Amino acid sequence: MKIREGETALDDQYLLSMKNISKEYFGNRVLKGVNLNVKPGEIHALVGENGAGKTTLMNILFGMPVIYSTGGFEGEIQINGESISIDSPHTAMNCGIGMVHQEFMLIPEFNVTENIKLGREIGEPTALSKIFGNLLEKMNWTQMSKEARKALDSIGMMNIDEYAKVAGMPIGYKQFIEIAREIDKTGIKLLVFDEPTAVLTEGEADRLLEIMRLIAKKGIAIIFITHRLTEVMAVADSMTILRDGEFVVRKDVKDITLTKIAELMIGRQIDKLVDDSLLASRDLSDNKIALEFKDYHVDMPGERVKGMNIKIREGEIFGFGGLAGQGKIGIVNGIIGLFDTQGDVFAFGKRLDLSKLGEALRNNIAFVSEDRRGVGLLLGESVERNITFTAMQIKDQFLRRIGPMKILDKAKADQHTREMIKLFDIRCTGPSQTAGSLSGGNQQKVCLARAITMDPKILIVSEPTRGIDIGAKKLVLEYLTKINREQGTTIVMISSELVELRSLCDRIAIVSEGKVFSVMKPDDSDAAFGLAMAGVREEEAV
Amino acid sequence: MNQKTDFFKKAGSFLFDNKVMIAFAAICLAAILLSGSPMTFIVDGVFTRITRNTFTVLALIIPVLAGLGLNFGIVIGAIAAQIAVFCVVYWGLGGFGGMLLSVLIATPLAVLFGYLVGKLFNRMKGAEMIAGLILGYFADGLYQLLFLVIIGGVIPVDNPKLIISGGMGVKNTIDLTGNLKYAIDSVRMVDIVTVVFYVVLAVTLIKIILHLLKKYQLNKGDFIFFGIFGLLFGISYIPEIEKFLSTDRLILLDALTAVLIVLAILELIKIIKSIWINKEPLKTLVKPIVTLLVYGLIYALTFIPEIEEVLSYVKLPVLPFLLIAGLCWFNQKILSTRLGQNMRTVGQSQSVAMASGIDVDKTRVIAMIISTVLASWGQLIFLQNIGTFSTYGAHTQIAQFAIAALLVGGASVQKATNKQAIIGVILFHTLFIVAPEAGKQLFDNAQIGEYFRVFVSYGVIALSLAMHAWTQFKKEVQPPTGGADLEIPALPAVTVKQQTLK
Amino acid sequence: MKTIKEIYESIGLPRLIIGLFFICLVVVSIILGFSPAALFSDVVRRWLMYGTLVLAMVPGIQSGIGLNFGVSLGISAGLLGSVFAMEISFLRNWNEVLGAGAPWLTLLLALIFGIIMATILGTLYGLLLNRVKGSEMTVSTYVGFSVIAFMNIVWLSLAFKNGELSWPLQGQGLRNTASLSGSFGGLLSNPDVVQSTQPAWLHWLAFKIGDFTLPLGLILVFALLCFFVWLFFRSKMGIAMSGAGENQLFTTSSGIDVDRMRILGTAISTVLGAVGIILYAQTYGFLQLYNAPLMMGFASAASILIGGASVRRAKISHVLIGTLLFQGILVTALPVANEVIKIGTLPEVLRIIISNGIILYALSKTKGGNQ
């Protein structure tokens, strides 16, 4: 292989080399000069918090359309030293890159062979196909099932019947069939596994790691994205750590400890988002409990809560942190009443019957959902309608009685809305502007205003500053601090940004595998936070 | 012990899965008994309607497969056919030649219409059925504009047989006797055999040429194929057989016998293959032997006088049935091609299909084109059999009745087979025939019977749509996105979703 | 200030075409010398005739079930109520006994029967629609058709004594069209009927101003209905219902039972359908049974869409504008067509093309936007 100017001899040994990758989404820098290098046949872990940029990096590698429709990327991708331009998933496939997705791309009604061969079926030419094109080729199922069998055997799945229907198979098997599909593609050199163990049982996860080893032995490189650091230590040869879109370090696994990984994942200069002057200390008593969860379960697909026990004190600002999919988002959605719950939730000592709609609202709990467009707003209605809606329905506010009917009191609604617009500095043309036409940050303020209109004693905010600019971020967090200190409102904050949580919470619970893993203080070490996020006890860390 | 409960379980689930068909069959039976009509009348009527309508019903199967649901837009295919028929009658052409010309005119029209409809459906994914329904009405409006206002009005046409007196618009009914009536029905069997032979000859010659050009590999199958048809052609020269084949109709008895013989030969071939060639154990013979016995039994039954009388009374035109058999074969065959496999994949999950590199939009458009063309041919078969062209009514009901028939046969919005289509046509049209008489006997009012059958046809569709929507809805409960990145687009969620419906 | 482009986009091409078409027709008919007053009367009359049926679409759309093609249920309830009321009126000889009050009582009875039946049917129908979320329109179309077909059997089986209703020689079965001239026909809208049967102090219900007929009674009733619907959607429950139709998750998270709201919306829609057909019949002067109401759901849906509504949002103004435009075209097209092309059936063909075209357009907008 010729060495070109600027390259070092080292470049040759890498199968995949992503150099200095940068990506911007609508002015937001998501990747800042990231490098990723993978040797042939090695298992390389890609580690980082949510939002670190792992998904975007893989999107670029895989040529996903979302990259190109938002301005492309900077940097270079090399395969075996040769620079290539990957502009579509198809090109990526032709370069030998495969991806095993988190959400399966299988068709339950089809059998295993059909699924493995999806979109790449083998056909025999017929007289008609010669004239009209390959769509009229006859399907050669004998050949295809042979190849499917081979693919399954090569990953040790001898007990999966290639003629069986996929519907009803255990999730682990579905995962393995996905893998078999990628292996079956000719010329596969690199396989990306995106959080593959997230949906597997422990036994299936172990199986999966074994399959990875088998594949790597064949000379196929693997990029393994996971937050489970123990898995990284168990199976990976080397790893790259990303943090806030920046490349932190690339190391061989044997040269690093789990604790160090955790620390590097989290550690950053903490730029406190809330001025210390606002954070007056106060006495919080363990005897005055605002919100208590006992064996709390929430059946939210993708964010299941599997038995949470925690007590939140009156007047406290309590944070829930943790990685995506671990359950922190499920907490509030269960209280809202959008998903089935089990176990007990107590508000000021009173047990809430969450099966009744609006139960939490009627007990002085207000909330702001993380999904502001899907749950938090009536996009087609005015700012005024949005802000006044819940209080109107639950507390009969902004209404006038006319005979037996309760009619909208436009004057009161308008006045209150203007107050809220002023308080939160909502940039809009007035109370009658449609919520859907506001910017993300202002939409979030409207959601917050709606919750505040309820005059709650407990305010639960989920991802309060997601996707909004730094100015609005500060405003929101300062406001939360303010009402906590001035009115004693108990605040429960759920966020994937540790910085935010460590800026104003009194205590932070890290949620892992649907349970509270540990309750930490804002000034606990970065390593401690990192390990907790990864679900690793300090004793287990090597 | 286990086998017994297994059997009951299987029987139970069979009953449940086919509840619509069984309930309908029960109603049919009741109506037949109530009406007191003679079986010859009923069977004759049913077979006539089978001849007329089955092709169109079969045209509905491919869209179901491709995830487009029940194709309420087959009206548009029928319109293409009717435009063609009008032209042909206007030019005074008739017979089989006239029919061929109709096909030549209708087909490109149907291809164009099918393409447009497919494009529209692609813009309305998830709402194809309601779109098809409304589109059908819209197309009807345009058709009326064409036939009522433009032809004879804006474009003056001077033909008293076709145009309403006064000169404005096409007549309500056009009599097809003398030109297209029975154009397909009256094709003699011996002519069919001759034409088929020549076509097979041509195809074989093409295959030989391709082989010489090294583009195609001749194999044993090709020669056997040619041999069979050559043999048939030769046999048809034997005087007795030639005489037998010179008619266009076959009495049901003879048809049934012929079909049984062919099926029996196929079973025998299967048996020979499995014993001598594949050397499978004897117990696999149980099923084929039982099947043969069943055929024998059916044949024996035909000797019972009442049954024989009915079977001898009914005369079937041969070509339409061959066409129906051909379409059944086509529906099967296409599934074994790449196109068919793509259609199935798209029908199961558009997102998975797209991610696997299948051109979802193109596949759906192709499915619509095929269905529309088949529907137009089906309408041609229908019109030539019924003999009168009801200009403003012929196309409006066919979508309803065809879809109702398909559903009665046990099909659903997601799954439809040839068998279901045929069973459905038989059941649906049996009810159609006996309902008025049954109504007369029961309520002293034949009209009630007629209304009842309309009610049933709507009701069956409503029920099927509701049941489909119910299962669909249960699978699709949308949870909040769990905080999917709002400003920063994440990897597009690729979920295994069944087709959506509106 | 919205730019011209924004206004154009929010109106949409088909509506623009329809609006311009209507204006053209009006201009042409004036040029051809038709009496504008008579034409205008006709337009107003038909506008009021169909108005309530179109109004029935609003609760359905707002509560999230889309275009309620199944309004035929309400129509059937209204027709059944009317038929029963007329039979009772005949059996009890109200025309003789109560004089001028008879038609009022019949009308009232028809409304009461119709509303009660519509409430029951509407609630059941709402329960069904809750099970088929996402497919409401397809299911509602065919449920509507099935109900009409079933009612055909009912009409044919009823053995009534009222000569206006039943076929004279057969013992059983109602006529296709029953004249309301001996009953409540024209009570609120026809000056001749009002002047001849009602006492003087009620003559303001309908009167002529030159060539132009002013059906004041009907206008008042329709205005009242529109007002109540408008008021309802400004009430706590109406706002909750609109929320349910726009975003189920949002509304659920605000403690509202979305399913209940949908049932309520469906029931109100069905009741308005029943009232609507009764008002329609009294204006037209005839009760049309059997297959006549088959396409009314589509016509009503088309009207409201023409008026600017979408499958998800509808206001009273959409009802008023849309019905005016749609009926206006049909009314003015007939005489124009007769003069220019001499084809009497052109309006019917136009109706089919326009109504289905606009529905198709509206559907393609929502679905297209979803992708």
| A495 part of a folded domain | yes
Contact C239 A362 (CB under 8 A): no
End-to-end CA distance of chain A: 40
Estimate the share of chain C in helix, then strand, then coil, as percent rounded to the nearest 5. Answer: 75, 5, 20
> Which residue of C239, C247, C255 is in closest CB contact with A358?
C255
| A261 part of a folded domain | no
Q: What does each of the 542 residues of chain A score in pLDDT, given as a tens digit?
A: 444 444 444 556 888 999 999 998 877 788 999 999 999 999 999 998 877 888 889 989 988 888 888 888 889 999 988 899 988 888 888 889 998 877 778 999 899 999 999 988 888 887 777 777 888 888 889 999 999 999 998 888 888 888 889 988 888 888 889 999 988 888 889 999 988 887 788 888 888 999 999 899 988 999 999 888 888 889 999 999 998 888 989 999 888 888 888 888 887 666 677 777 777 778 788 888 999 999 999 999 888 999 999 999 999 999 999 888 888 999 999 998 899 999 999 999 899 999 889 999 999 999 999 888 889 999 989 999 999 999 999 999 999 998 888 999 999 999 999 999 999 888 888 899 999 888 888 899 999 999 999 999 999 999 988 877 777 888 889 899 999 988 889 999 999 888 889 888 999 999 988 999 999 998 888 888 888 888 888 776 65
Cα gap B211→B219, rounded to integer Å:
10
Of the three residues A131, A151, A185, the one that is the final residue of a domain is: A185
Distances (CA, A) of A344 to A330, A339, B133, C253: 15, 14, 50, 19
Cα gap A380→A433, rounded to integer Å:
10
Burial of C195 per CB tally in 10 Å (0-12, 13-18, 19+): middle
What values do phi and psi take at A462, rounded to 5? Answer: -110, 120
Q: Is the ipTM of this complex over 0.90?
A: no
Contact residues on chain C for B497, CB-CB shorter than 8 A: none
Q: Looking at the structure, tell me whether residues A83 and A222 fall in a common domain.
A: yes
Q: Cα angle vertex C304, ends C302, C310, to 5°?
A: 95
Of the three residues A148, A169, A185, the one that is the final residue of a domain is: A185
Contact B138 C360 (CB under 8 A): yes
Contact A135 B207 (CB under 8 A): no
pLDDT at residue B60 tops 90? yes
pLDDT at residue B484 tops 50? no
Which residues in A362-398 are b (16+ Cβ under 10 Å) and which e? ebbbbbbbbbbbbbbbbbbbbbbbbbbbbbbbbeebb
Token duo for residue C316:
């009273």
Q: What does each of the 371 residues of chain C score in pLDDT, given as a tens digit?
A: 567 777 777 677 777 888 888 888 888 888 887 777 888 888 899 999 999 999 999 999 999 998 999 899 999 999 999 999 988 888 888 877 777 778 888 899 999 999 999 999 999 999 999 988 878 888 889 999 999 999 998 988 888 888 778 887 777 788 888 888 878 888 888 888 887 777 877 788 888 887 788 888 899 999 999 999 999 999 999 999 999 999 999 999 999 999 999 999 999 999 999 999 999 999 998 999 988 888 899 999 999 998 888 888 999 999 999 999 999 888 888 777 777 666 667 778 888 888 898 888 888 876 533 32
Which residue's entry shows tokens 């008002």?
Answer: C279
β-bridge mates for residue A138, sequence order: A124, B337
Token duo for residue A253:
């696994």
More confident residue, C289 or B172: C289
Contact residues on chain C for A367, CB-CB shorter than 8 A: 253
Contact B124 C149 (CB under 8 A): no
Q: Looking at the structure, tell me whether residues A294 and A405 fall in a common domain.
A: no
Please check whether residue A521 touches B, CB under 8 A: no
Closest CA of chain A from C235, distance in Å: 4
**Between A and C, how many residue pairs show a Cβ–Cβ distance under 8 A?**
75
Cα gap A377→A371, rounded to integer Å:
9
Helix (H, G, I), strand (E, B) or coil at B163: strand
> Which residue of B127, B148, B149 is in closest CB contact with C367?
B127
Please check whether residue A168 touches B, CB under 8 A: no
Please check whether residue B487 touches A, CB under 8 A: yes
Residue pair A220/A41 in contact (Cβ under 8 Å)? The answer is yes
Closest CA of chain C from B359, distance in Å: 16
> Which residue of A55, A107, A138 is in closest CB contact with B352?
A107
> Which residue of A377, A393, A405 is in closest CB contact with C240?
A393
A190-194 and A221-225: which strand pairing? parallel
Q: Looking at the structure, tell me whether residues A278 and A352 fall in a common domain.
A: yes
Cα gap B285→A445, rounded to integer Å:
75
Distances (CA, A) of C131 to A232, B16, B420, B460: 47, 20, 27, 18
Burial of C244 per CB tally in 10 Å (0-12, 13-18, 19+): buried
In the prediction, which pLDDT does B236 show?
A: 76
Contact B148 C132 (CB under 8 A): no
In the prediction, which pLDDT does C370 show?
A: 34
Residue C173, Ramachandran bin (φ over 0: left; ψ between -120 and 50: alpha; else beta): left
Taking the alpha carbons of A218, A36, A324, B500 in that order, is the dihedral positive or negative?
negative
Contact residues on chain C for B129, CB-CB shorter than 8 A: 138
Burial of A158 per CB tally in 10 Å (0-12, 13-18, 19+): exposed
| A209 part of a folded domain | yes
Contact C173 B149 (CB under 8 A): no
Contact residues on chain B for C157, CB-CB shorter than 8 A: 443, 445, 448
Contact C352 B459 (CB under 8 A): no
Cα gap B295→A506, rounded to integer Å:
84
Contact residues on chain C for A408, CB-CB shorter than 8 A: 234-236, 239
Q: Looking at the structure, tell me whether residues A171 and A117 fall in a common domain.
A: yes
In the prediction, which pLDDT does B488 show?
A: 35
Cα gap A417→A385, rounded to integer Å:
9
Q: Looking at the structure, tell me whether residues A226 and A305 fall in a common domain.
A: no
Domain-wise residue ranges, chain C: 14-196+204-362
Residue pair A528/A515 in contact (Cβ under 8 Å)? The answer is no
Token duo for residue C252:
């659920």
Closest CA of chain C from A426, distance in Å: 21
Residue pair A80/A173 in contact (Cβ under 8 Å)? The answer is no
Please give the residue of chain A at the shortest CA–CA distance from B494.
A103
Q: Running DSSP on this structure, what letter comes out for residue C205?
A: G
Closest CA of chain B from A466, distance in Å: 8
Residue pair C105/C89 in contact (Cβ under 8 Å)? The answer is yes
In the prediction, which pLDDT does C343 show?
A: 64
Contact residues on chain A for C309, CB-CB shorter than 8 A: none
- Mutation target among C130, C137, C138 for the B interface, most CBs of B within 10 A: C138
Q: Looking at the structure, tell me whether residues A313 and A392 fall in a common domain.
A: no
Contact A127 B216 (CB under 8 A): yes
> Which residue of C153, C298, C371 is in closest CB contact with B125?
C371
Contact B126 C156 (CB under 8 A): no
Contact A371 B484 (CB under 8 A): yes
Cα gap A468→A79, rounded to integer Å:
37
Of the three residues A433, A455, A477, the one that is the final residue of a domain is: A455
- Report the half-sphere exposure of B396 (CA within 13 A, side-chain side): 11
Please check whether residue C153 touches B, CB under 8 A: yes
pLDDT at residue B266 tops 80? no
Give me the number of domains chain A comprises.
Answer: 4
In the prediction, which pLDDT does B492 show?
A: 29
**Between B and C, how many residue pairs show a Cβ–Cβ distance under 8 A?**
148
Burial of B224 per CB tally in 10 Å (0-12, 13-18, 19+): exposed
| A265 part of a folded domain | no
Contact B203 A375 (CB under 8 A): no
Contact C367 B445 (CB under 8 A): no
More confident residue, B98 or B443: B98
Contact A372 B486 (CB under 8 A): yes
Least Cα distance to C60 among C301, C295, C221, C251 occurs for: C301
Please check whether residue B119 touches C, CB under 8 A: no
Q: Cα angle vertex A463, ends A476, B492, to 5°?
A: 135
Cα gap A386→A376, rounded to integer Å:
9
Q: pLDDT for B198-220, tens place per residue?
A: 888 888 888 788 778 776 666 77
Report percent pLDDT > 70 for chain A.
Answer: 96
> Which residue of C135, C145, C343 is in closest CB contact with B458?
C145
Within 10 angstroms of residue C168's Cβ, the number of other Cβ atoms is 6
Q: Looking at the structure, tell me whether residues A463 and A446 fall in a common domain.
A: no
Please check whether residue B212 touches A, CB under 8 A: no
In the prediction, which pLDDT does A378 show?
A: 94
pLDDT band for position B235 (cuts 50, 70, 90): confident
Contact residues on chain C for B465, CB-CB shorter than 8 A: 132, 135, 138-139, 142
Cα gap C149→A41, rounded to integer Å:
70
Burial of C94 per CB tally in 10 Å (0-12, 13-18, 19+): buried
Q: Looking at the structure, tell me whether residues A138 and A49 fall in a common domain.
A: no
The DSSP secondary structure of B269-297, one letter per residue, reads HHHHIIIIIS---GGGGHHHHHHHHHHHH
For all residues of chain B together, what is the average pLDDT?
81
Please check whether residue C231 touches A, CB under 8 A: yes
- Mutation target among A339, A375, A402 for the C interface, most CBs of C within 10 A: A375
pLDDT at residue B276 tops 90? no
Q: What is the CATH number of the domain that holds A304?
A: 3.40.50.300
Q: Running DSSP on this structure, what letter comes out for residue A496?
A: S
Contact B466 C145 (CB under 8 A): no
Least confident interval from A435-444, B78-87, B223-232, C108-117: B223-232
Please check whether residue B352 touches A, CB under 8 A: yes
In the prediction, which pLDDT does A325 show?
A: 83
Cα gap A436→C310, rounded to integer Å:
17
Cβ-Cβ contacts under 8 Å for B373 (sequence gap 6 or more): B77, B107, B110, B111, B114
In the prediction, which pLDDT does B478 show?
A: 40
Global pTM value = 0.85
Distances (CA, A) of A360 to A342, B149, B178, C88: 15, 65, 79, 54
Cβ-Cβ contacts under 8 Å for B46 (sequence gap 6 or more): B426, B429, B430, B433
| A118 part of a folded domain | yes
Q: Looking at the structure, tell me whether residues A345 and A464 fall in a common domain.
A: yes
Q: Looking at the structure, tell me whether residues A382 and A507 fall in a common domain.
A: no
- Report the half-sphere exposure of B481 (CA within 13 A, side-chain side): 17
Q: Looking at the structure, tell me whether residues A90 and A194 fall in a common domain.
A: yes
Contact residues on chain A for C236, CB-CB shorter than 8 A: 392-393, 396, 399, 406-408
Q: Running DSSP on this structure, what letter comes out for residue B167?
A: S
Please check whether residue B443 touches C, CB under 8 A: yes
Cα gap B232→B193, rounded to integer Å:
8
> Which residue of A66, A101, A466 is in closest CB contact with B483?
A466
Which residue's entry shows tokens 């609202």?
Answer: A361
- Report the half-sphere exposure of C278 (CA within 13 A, side-chain side): 34
How many residues make up chain B in this entry?
502
- Mutation target among B336, B488, B497, B498 for the A interface, most CBs of A within 10 A: B488
Residue type present at position C261: M
CATH match for C14-196+204-362 among 1.10.3470, 1.10.150, 2.30.29, 2.60.120: 1.10.3470
Please check whether residue C209 touches A, CB under 8 A: no
In the prediction, which pLDDT does A64 show?
A: 83
| A268 part of a folded domain | no
Q: Looking at the structure, tell me whether residues A150 and A167 fall in a common domain.
A: yes
Structural domain harbouring A112:
106-185
